[in-house]
Amino acid sequence: MTEYQTVEPDDQAVLRDGTIKLHGAEAFEGMRKAGRLAAEILDEIADMVQPGVTTAAIDDKVREMTLDAGAVPATLGYRGYQHSCCISINHVVCHGIPSDKTLKDGDILNIDVTPLLDGWHGDSSRMYFSGEPSLKARRLVEVTYECLMIGIEQAKPGNHIGDIGAAIQQYAESHRYGVVREFCGHGLGRLFHDAPEVVHAARAGTGAEIRPGMLFTIEPMINLGKPAVKLLNDGWTAVTRDKSLSAQFEHSIGITEDGCEIFTLSPRERHKPPYA
């Protein structure tokens, strides 16, 4: 049995109890601001992404923009993670660690940011192109963006969480891509990662019923090859087992009476690359 709990803004910091929280107007207002900041950061760093730049330089820019806006990168110090964003290049599926490594011509990369603003988490990621990726890489990125938006269409009252994954899996597999199973979307709000788990491959009609007031992310990771991933020895970096390219997009959303509100939409219409 899924349990739900209507929460007031001040309750929530302490509620790590696995129930699905149903938030009110004040939470939506907070999420709107945090989400907008995440989107503005992702918009701005698009101009930095090109061959020769280090991922550490991008991470510095993310930290600077986050702090300048009066927010904190939620990843800094999160379970020992020491950076302000995750940057996942080519066959890296997620949680790539910024470093002195430079971007190469033709790389595709995901940048994932999570500003914590006034107690609310805005979690979003997009793909970027460094130089001119191959046609098959660009196609993967395009379809992965469509997977996210197709999943979001299912995020409405009366549907179940599994309907989101079912739609994503059906679409990705129709292109012969693999849907990553090990990482999922998640509830968020005052907490970075909360119930429910939003899996990206599922059977329709399964999982918790979607209700107004729920806040969660959808963040499909789609592989050009097989779905399997492995974790590198650094304890963070997840890569495709078959070394195939992987792509991901992530939005933070809130369920409304008749659908959902996307908190992390790009104000500059930089939804997907190319961003020029």
By CB under 5 A, tell whether 107 contacts Co ion: no
Q: Which two tokens stand for residue 50?
A: 């090109």
Q: Which two tokens stand for residue 265?
A: 């939409």
From the DSSP assignment, how many helices (H) and strands (E) are in the chain?
4, 19
Q: Which of 40, 59, 107, 123 binds ligand MF3 (CB under 6 A)?
A: 123
Tokens 């996942």 sit on residue: 88
Residues 244-263 that bind Co ion (CB under 5 A): 250
Spell out the residues 6+ positions from residue 77 whose beta carbon is closer than 8 angstroms to its own: none
Q: Which of 40, 59, 123, 163 binds Co ion (CB under 5 A)?
A: 123
Q: Which of 40, 107, 146, 250 binds ligand MF3 (CB under 6 A)?
A: 250
Residues 62-101 that bind ligand MF3 (CB under 6 A): 75, 78-79, 81, 86, 95
- Contact of 125 with 42, CB cutoff 8 Å: yes
Q: What is the dihedral of CA 137, 139, 142, 148, to 10 degrees?
A: -80
From the list ligand MF3, Co ion, none, partner contacted by residue 81 (C-beta under 5 to 8 A by kind): ligand MF3
For residue 35, the one-letter residue type is G
At 5, give phi and psi (nearest 5°).
Answer: -150, 120
- Angle, vertex CA 93, rays to CA 90 and CA 97, nearest 5: 85
Give the pairing of strands 124-129 and 108-113.
antiparallel
From the list Co ion, ligand MF3, none, partner contacted by residue 138 (C-beta under 5 to 8 A by kind): none
Nearer to ligand MF3, 214 or 257 (CB): 214
Binding mask 193-222 for Co ion (x = CB under 5 A): ------------------------x-----
Stretch that binds Co ion, among 28-36, 119-127, 163-171, 220-228 (CB under 5 A): 119-127
**Using CB under 5 A as the criterion, which residues of the chain lie in contact with Co ion when the complex forms?**
112, 123, 217, 250
Binding site for ligand MF3 (CB under 6 A): 75, 78-79, 81, 86, 95, 112, 114, 123, 217, 219, 236, 250
